[in-house]
Structure 1
């Protein structure tokens, strides 16, 4: 791919108007440095908000983080990302599912502050990686985490989270309200096949809405949560929480940086393929932007962020890659985060609804790992690839845990490390063996 000259080369925060804001060719591509007329840009921006909505809110509902605060930092993080990448990488930063399991493990007696400290450290590490990539290039990322490794890491996250869909980290999930959970799951599956286009992409959100309505009609809503909804103000600051730092929480959460690296690299390459541009020079800035966004979120009480595949789907459907639409989406998320009433509404979502939705979401994460293997044609006749995936996935799915004093490493951290170590050690042994065989010959 060749780099096309863009307006951003001289005016990083300005856009040319596609079609002069009036006439748009059917199917015409709107590139990152272009924008539609502002009314149309607002419409596309709102679509991006809706697309990220279901997944972004699921994470704080599971982890116990304030939903409004998470949404606020999600929008703020998106704006930071756009600034750092100089409007060249269209992306929305939503809540990362990779943080769920380590955050649940790191919460001490329900206190989210230690988990927030771990999120800050993970963000700082990703930002540091971004600076290194910007200085020396991104090829070493591909060498460190080839597709067999990244696929295994993504798959083991979904499998590691699977039990949470059943028990919700306690007495929640499908086990708490099985009928509502099944109805929610059925609504999601039906919405996926009944609706086409954009509505089909909102199947999770539609299923959650159906489950919520069923729970409301059958007295399945938490009365405490509904009272909070009635008492909540329409406008106000979200609940900010300062982080605390402990080695235990940091050890659990910091390895998530490996997942964030894989997700960001995949996002940049996907956008590059869709827009026909070489975005490898922006890889470091993407890491830096998401790292800073994650660190800011952890510093104030929000969930860690990552680039969102849901919004890639919107871009693919609309062929509008304008970063102006993402500025609209980020600003809208910040404004919604400033409504305590809105955050209280999200907290009324019942345990059974979450159980049904996460049954799908966690399964999709696991299958996405397999999709990475398939799309990159990973050769599982190669015993190195086969053993790498086998060992890492089981360590993550069984949630192997290693404790050493105050430090504790759970299945996601150990599985991610195992994927990298097993692959490179076995590959090194193969090369040494082949070199010795060649020398003997």
Structure 2
């Protein structure tokens, strides 16, 4: 049964069939061939979507689309540029910091690239950076978004592994800062060795004050979200709803750029993005059920425990598995397929669920910028009209800080568990 399922899935991928369709179609054919109850198709798919934490996914997507429609991304970029742009390699540092700030609104790597990529790369080119370097740091910095709350992949992981979504989201705060610092350190080294340019923009004090005033409402969105989670007053879904209302209010009342047409466009964009994600969730749940019936989780657990019972060794094995999976599978699909198989064993071995979620997401985000699939690479290639190979060469230096950050998060579980334990004792 398992062999039939995997062969059909691989054949579908080779033929270029979308991942969600491959998951659902291979599962349906396997169920039919092996005479399993066909009603499972509807039951498992619907049950997978009947989850309160998953309601946060379309709401967070909608809030990010609303904030993009108000033009806050340009304000955030200019504000950050005023503070660190004068450093050598400063505009590249701005790129990373803006990705961190915007990640508190979007929760997805591709959303960050779509909203910020064109602005960031154009600005860096105007300041004398090569297009290859600009595209490389833009892709690398987009890995921060899915780790820092609101993280859509972490919400998906919490649902798949049946752990607290609030704890999973809080666990991403410090690791996201670790990734940010690692990328900024790499830029500082490259700036010194490669004589990267300084920003030519010299803002006056009144301009800085004006930009802070204009940007403050947008900056309060991630603060409001994290405060809601830390206070315990809201869960992920409630926080997402609050951020949607807040985004509409500041877009209409403060920025006065959110029109009825813009609201409709943001809603339509959010529906399309949410449908794509939830289609994968439903299909992957069916795929995971067939794997479970075939005894794959039990076999995988026995094999892992036969190799080692040491949590660190098990995490190193998982890192390799996820890095390879991330090269070929869409990240949400990979979480939904792999998490139910390996999570029970690693949790039983003593790996904290918060650390496990962060490791899952960080590995798969690195996979988004790793050939042969690398959706982030393709997206930047489209934005910049560069060849895929040029984008890959641009991102090569930034694998170093990303893997350093991954090693740090793997070796020090406290980075992921400290904040959730502090808040939710």
TM (normalized to structure 2)?
0.31
TM-score (norm 1): 0.30
Please identify which structure carries the higher helix content: 2
